[in-house]
Amino acid sequence: MKEDCSQCGIHFEREEGYWVGALIINTTVTFGTFLVIFVSGILITWPDVPWTTVGVVTIVANGLIPVAFYPISKSLWVALEMGWHPLEPREVEAARRRSNLRLET
């Protein structure tokens, strides 16, 4: 991932530990999807639940979903976080300097 936006120059990681929010979103989506797959797999096939198949499908999903959702979780986090914590004047100025530098080169 680029450190700064190539268009406006804002720096994505606004403070140390910034991406913990994206990690929480990714973990929540992964666990929610696991629950939906697991519970619906049981409900659809009840009473003869194919435990091996349900187990394999949920394990594969738990391996793939966090990787596939990783970039989306970061975009979501940036959008959410900027909604309740808009850019501060020093960040706007730094972004302006970065984008001006980019335009000059």
Q: Which of residues 4-33 bind Zn ion (CB under 5 A)?
A: 5, 7-8
Which range touches Zn ion (CB under 5 A), out of 2-10, 37-45, 48-56, 70-78?
2-10
User: Of 35 and 82, which CB lies nearer to Zn ion in the complex structure?
Assistant: 82
Q: Does 82 bind Zn ion (CB under 5 A)?
A: no
Q: How many residues bind Zn ion (CB under 5 A)?
A: 3
d(CA 43, CA 92): 52
